[in-house]
Every structure is written in C-alpha cells, then in structure tokens.
C-alpha cells in the first residue's frame, strides 16, 4: 500500500523523531541508532510553537490571496509576526507602498464549540471573495475546529461551487503535532492536494530549479542564493515566500528541486519525485563555507554542473577567504551556544568551524535521522557538547546558559540577553546570513556583539528572569521523564 504522508512529522515511517531529551551530544548520537534515546516527555512544559503558526508564516506572503483562520481570535496572534515579515519583505523588494496581509478570522466562540462553526466558515469564505476577489483563499484549521470536528472539506467543496477563487484548506490543528515544522508540511500538502492535484508534468525547463524556502530567509539571502545559482546557469522558481499561483503551477515543469532549509519541503520534494520524476537535493542550509559548498554541489549535480560549481567555489573562496581569515583571528576560541530551528541550528553550528569557535551547547526542537548525520559531523569537529532537544523551553535554556557561560549566544536572544550574554541572531529575516558573501556579514555581526556587550549587560542589570535562584543549581533536564 502506498505510504501517504499525513503532514504530522511524528507519524513519518522512515525515521524516529524525538522532541524531548537532554544530555551530551556524543551520548545522543550513540543512542539514536540503537533506538535507545528514550521516549521521554516533559512533565513541565513552557509552551510550544504551534503548527498553525508555521502554516500561516509559510503562506502569508502569497500573491493575490486571502487567509481565513477558522479558529478563536487568539490563534491569530502569530499573524502579527508573519505580517511584519511580509511588510518588511515588501520594503526590501522595493515596494514602499506596503500592504498588510488580508486575514479573516471566523472567531469561534463557546457557542460554536457546542453547535459547530461550519456556517461561520461558509460566511467567512464568501466574505473573502466578495471583499477581495482573490485567486486563492487559504483556510487554516485550528485546535478548536479539529476538536469539534467541523467538516472543512464539505464547506470548501460547497462554497467552491459558488465562487471562482481556488479555496485551499490547510489542515494545521496545533494539538496534532509537537513539531512546528509539521505546519510547513501542511502547507505543501495543501499545494499538492488542492492546487496541483493531478496537473500533468508539462515540458521540462532544463535550467529551472524549484527552490523551496522558508519565510525566515531574508531578501538579501534570497538574492545571494539566486546570484550563486544564476552564476552557474540555474534559474530559480522560488516558493512559497512571495510566490504566486502561477509559480506553484510551474513546479511540475522544473528539472530539479531543492530547499534552503533541510526540514522544509523535504516530504513535498519526495512526493514531486514520485509523482513527476523530479529529482531533488536534500543537503543542508547554506550557512558557512562548508555548508554552502555542500548545498551548491548537491544542486549542481542534478544539472550536470559539478565541475563548473567546483571552479565557481574556488573563485568565491579567493574573494571571501581573506575576510573570513581576518574574522577568524579575532573569533578563534570563543565559546558558543546555539539555539534555532533544527535546520538552522545544525547549519550554523558548522559555521563556527569557519571562525574556529568552540561549540559548547545547542538547542534544537527535533532529533531524527537527518539530525543524526549532522550531529555525528559536529561531534567529530567539536567533541562532546550539551544538547537540549526542546521546542522553546526557556527555563532549561537559562539554566544551561548560566552553567556553560558561553562567550556568545547565537539564536533567539530574549532570555540570553537578560543574563547579560552577548547575543546575535541567525533566524534573521531582515539581515544577511547565507551564502559566501553573507558569511562575512554574519561573522562581523558575531564579533560586534562580543566586542560591544554593554547593551545586554544593562538589560541584565535591570531585567529579571522569572526563576528562583535555586533553579539554576538544579539539573536542567529535571523535568524530562
């Protein structure tokens, strides 16, 4: 029987997936293949990033679209962040008359939870059409709509008869997965089930690459990636950030697929291979020279351009290496803690190799087969370091940071800054991070923070974290059982 992917990462059959674990990195990499990492859970949890958030973030910049959240009002909180990214992205792309994303929420309340919310959804989709006449209307489900069992498919099928817009359900109920990347998968499942459906392959465009990119990739990173690929003769169909119906319909015509993030669109690329025979490269995020090389060579091989890419890498090195070496002389030996999404954390950890820094700790939301190969590489590079498998557990993070005392924290900086540790971001949709040129910017950003720690020191002097002193002496992983 064909293995149909449900969009829930915990249910994938070809990998074990862990979301709750803490300990040494070497211990983790030895336990995982023996299947004895342990099915743990946290008996105390400080909240997870919701799957719906990732679905909304992935799609909110789609052109000529309206977004209907079939949820209570509170679920729209994530839209503020995604809308901010959308607005900044417009500005970076030269559009100074920035617009807000068009979001409608059905505002499910107590009454709807008892009597059902289908009528509200019908009205919301009709309103989306009469108000905006978009090409696409995305309907996001929520915990509430999932728990009460509203028949989203039936409502969508019924209203689709009345209006010319393509109505696309995105099944992203938060409670169904502890892995927020499942929300990205829900968005891609929606593309394949409701937009591409049984679309034929069409004529292959031999220089065209489907490049799947999460919304956290800045415009300057997008242009750097397109520059690198363009220089070896590869054109990019960039999806889904600032994408369109036309670009989605072009997907089957590409010669190959790849993604900027390792946990983004990986299941969708498998599906495209099975359905259209489109080969794909699934390597690592292009942060740092080693990863950018690996990422580029993976794609180049699909276009028979390996030799050309190798020559190109040499040329890029001649421009970038002297600057990286200069940064390395200043950053060498600095101790680093990294926290980010799975794809970004592991890619950024290898970046530290460029600057001869020392990895002392890492927080990643998920551990699976892909992570295992990356962790084995990092263990060879740095030896043992502390690994926390956690989707946003600040209480564990501050405990670890106060013990490990890194020279710099790379990742979501809020809590580390309150401890007075120099911080910088790699999940930065407004600044450069990826490719050869942007490595220099990133290195300078890290150095700047280390040399100018005053701001975070002042924050630490005036802001208090909400934990008792005794917590910092406890085992950080005390609540993982």
- In the numeric block, which tokens belong to residue 94? 């030269």
175 or 377: CB nearest ligand SF4? 175
Closest contact distance (angstroms) between CB of 75 and ligand SF4 is 3
Closest contact distance (angstroms) between CB of 142 and ligand SF4 is 4
Count other Cβ atoms within 10 Å, centred on residue 393: 26
- In the numeric block, which tokens belong to residue 458? 């002042």
- In the numeric block, which tokens belong to residue 180? 């927020």
113 or 301: CB nearest ligand SF4? 113
Closest contact distance (angstroms) between CB of 267 and ligand SF4 is 21
Beta bridge partners of 367: 18
Using CB under 6 A, pick the residue from 25, 65, 71, 433 that binds ligand SF4. Answer: 71
For residues 98 and 90, is the Cβ–Cβ distance under 8 A?
yes
174 or 288: CB nearest ligand SF4? 174
Closest contact distance (angstroms) between CB of 174 and ligand SF4 is 3
For residues 356 and 385, is the Cβ–Cβ distance under 8 A?
no
Q: DSSP per residue over 413-480, as a string?
A: -HHHHHTT--EE-SS-TTS--SHHHHHHHHHHHHHHHHH--HHHHHHHHH---SS-GGGGGS-TTTTB
175 or 441: CB nearest ligand SF4? 175
101 or 143: CB nearest ligand SF4? 143
Closest contact distance (angstroms) between CB of 254 and ligand SF4 is 33
* CB-nearest residue to ligand SF4: 174
Show contacts with ligand SF4 in window 72-131 (CB under 6 A).
Answer: 75
Show contacts with ligand SF4 in window 212-241 (CB under 6 A).
Answer: none
Closest contact distance (angstroms) between CB of 45 and ligand SF4 is 13
Binding status of residue 366 toward ligand SF4 by CB under 6 A: no
Count other Cβ atoms within 10 Å, centred on residue 445: 17
Q: Binders of ligand SF4: how many residues, by CB under 6 A?
A: 8
Angle at 6 between CA 268 and CA 152, to 5 degrees: 105
Using CB under 6 A, pick the residue from 57, 143, 339, 393 that binds ligand SF4. Answer: 143
Query: In whole angstroms, what is the distance from residue 181 CA to residue 361 CA?
Result: 22
Backbone φ, ψ for residue 411 (5° rounding):
145, -165
Binding status of residue 69 toward ligand SF4 by CB under 6 A: no
Closest contact distance (angstroms) between CB of 146 and ligand SF4 is 8
Cβ neighbours of residue 3 closer than 8 Å, sequence gap 6 or more = 13
Binding status of residue 391 toward ligand SF4 by CB under 6 A: no
The SS3 call for residue 287 is coil
52 or 243: CB nearest ligand SF4? 52
112 or 221: CB nearest ligand SF4? 112
- In the numeric block, which tokens belong to residue 185? 């998968």
215 or 286: CB nearest ligand SF4? 215
Query: In whole angstroms, what is the distance from residue 123 CA to residue 113 CA?
Result: 17
Q: Write down the H helix ranges in 133-244.
A: 143-148, 152-160, 182-190, 219-231
**Which class for 68: exposed (0-12), middle (13-18), buried (19 or more C-beta within 10 A)?**
buried
Binding status of residue 19 toward ligand SF4 by CB under 6 A: no
53 or 438: CB nearest ligand SF4? 53
Query: In whole angstroms, what is the distance from residue 223 CA to residue 212 CA?
Result: 14
Binding status of residue 387 toward ligand SF4 by CB under 6 A: no
Query: In whole angstroms, what is the distance from residue 101 CA to residue 405 CA?
Result: 41
Count other Cβ atoms within 10 Å, centred on residue 421: 24
Using CB under 6 A, pick the residue from 28, 37, 50, 263 that binds ligand SF4. Answer: 50
Binding status of residue 186 toward ligand SF4 by CB under 6 A: no
Binding status of residue 439 toward ligand SF4 by CB under 6 A: no
Binding status of residue 156 toward ligand SF4 by CB under 6 A: no
Binding status of residue 52 toward ligand SF4 by CB under 6 A: yes
Closest contact distance (angstroms) between CB of 74 and ligand SF4 is 6
Query: Residue numbers of the site for ligand SF4 (CB under 6 A)?
Result: 50, 52, 71, 75, 142-143, 174-175
């Amino acid at each position: 029987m064909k293995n149909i992917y449900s969009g829930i990462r915990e249910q994938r059959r070809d990998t074990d997936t862990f979301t709750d674990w803490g300990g040494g990195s070497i211990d983790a990499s030895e336990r995982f293949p023996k299947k004895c990492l342990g099915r743990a859970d946290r008996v105390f949890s400080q909240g997870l990033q919701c799957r719906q958030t990732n679905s909304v973030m992935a799609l909110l910049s789609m052109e000529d679209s309206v977004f209907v959240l079939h949820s209570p009002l509170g679920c729209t909180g994530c839209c503020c962040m995604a809308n901010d990214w959308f607005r900044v992205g417009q500005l970076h792309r030269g559009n100074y008359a920035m617009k807000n994303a068009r979001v409608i929420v059905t505002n499910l309340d107590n009454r709807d939870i008892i009597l059902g919310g289908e009528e509200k959804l019908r009205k919301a989709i009709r309103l989306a059409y009469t108000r905006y006449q978009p090409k696409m209307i995305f309907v996001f489900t929520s915990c509430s709509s999932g728990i009460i069992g509203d028949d989203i498919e039936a409502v969508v099928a019924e209203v689709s008869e009345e209006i010319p817009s393509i109505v696309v359900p995105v099944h992203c109920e938060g409670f169904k997965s502890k892995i927020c990347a499942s929300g990205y998968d829900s968005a891609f499942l929606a593309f394949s089930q409701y937009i591409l459906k049984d679309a034929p392959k069409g004529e292959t465009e031999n220089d065209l690459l489907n490049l799947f990119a999460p919304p956290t990739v800045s415009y300057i990173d997008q242009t750097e990636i397109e520059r690198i690929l363009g220089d070896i003769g590869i054109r990019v169909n960039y999806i889904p950030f600032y994408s369109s119906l036309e670009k989605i319909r072009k997907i089957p015509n590409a010669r190959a697929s790849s993604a900027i993030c390792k946990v983004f669109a990986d299941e969708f690329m498998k599906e495209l291979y099975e359905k259209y025979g489109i080969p794909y490269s699934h390597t690592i995020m292009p942060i740092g020279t080693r990863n950018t090389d690996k990422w580029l060579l993976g794609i180049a091989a699909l276009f028979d351009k390996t030799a050309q890419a190798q020559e190109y890498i040499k040329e890029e090195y001649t421009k970038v290496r002297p600057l990286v070496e200069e940064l390395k002389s200043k950053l060498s030996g600095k101790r680093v803690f990294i926290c980010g999404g799975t794809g970004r954390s592991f890619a950024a950890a290898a970046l530290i190799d460029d600057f001869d820094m020392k990895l002392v700790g890492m927080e990643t939301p998920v551990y699976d087969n892909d992570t295992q190969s990356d962790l084995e590489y990092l263990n060879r590079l740095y030896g043992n370091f502390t690994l926390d498998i956690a989707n946003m557990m600040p209480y564990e993070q501050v405990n670890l940071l106060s013990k490990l005392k890194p020279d710099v924290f790379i990742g979501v900086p809020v809590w580390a800054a309150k401890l007075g540790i120099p911080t910088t971001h790699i999940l930065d949709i407004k600044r450069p991070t990826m490719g050869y040129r942007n490595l220099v910017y990133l290195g300078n950003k890290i150095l700047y923070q280390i040399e100018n720690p005053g701001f975070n020191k002042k924050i630490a002097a005036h802001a208090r974290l909400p934990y008792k002193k005794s917590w910092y002496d406890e085992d950080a992983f005390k609540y993982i059982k």
